[in-house]
Amino acid sequence: MAILFELSGTISMKISQGFTRPWPSVLMFLFYGISFTSLNVALTSIKVGVAYAVWSGAGIILISVVGAVYFEERLTLSSLLWVTVIVAGIVGLNISTKGH
């Protein structure tokens, strides 16, 4: 839930056009509030490093896709490479924490 509401907050931030559009601006604060609350709840059962890595990494991946599809932002080959590195880092972090 934290990841999806963070994604919604970031989309709302883009749509708010620098706080010039009231409803997307209000939704941005609402979505980020729900996102941080959800992340806080998740931290009761997930290690903070893993939770934050997954939350931020998944957010980066999802907002990159949304930016490309809905906002026509260009994803370069190098940006796709670095997103792949982020995914590898998240997977590696999850694998390394499950063994301990």
Full pLDDT tens readout for the chain, 100 residues: 999 999 999 999 999 999 999 999 999 999 999 999 999 999 999 989 888 888 888 899 999 999 999 999 999 999 999 999 988 988 888 788 765 5
Please tell me the distance from the alpha carbon of residue 11 to that of residue 15, in angstroms, as a whole number.
6
pTM for the predicted model, two decimal places: 0.84
Please tell me the distance from the alpha carbon of residue 5 to that of residue 58, in angstroms, as a whole number.
12
Please tell me the distance from the alpha carbon of residue 51 to that of residue 30, in angstroms, as a whole number.
21
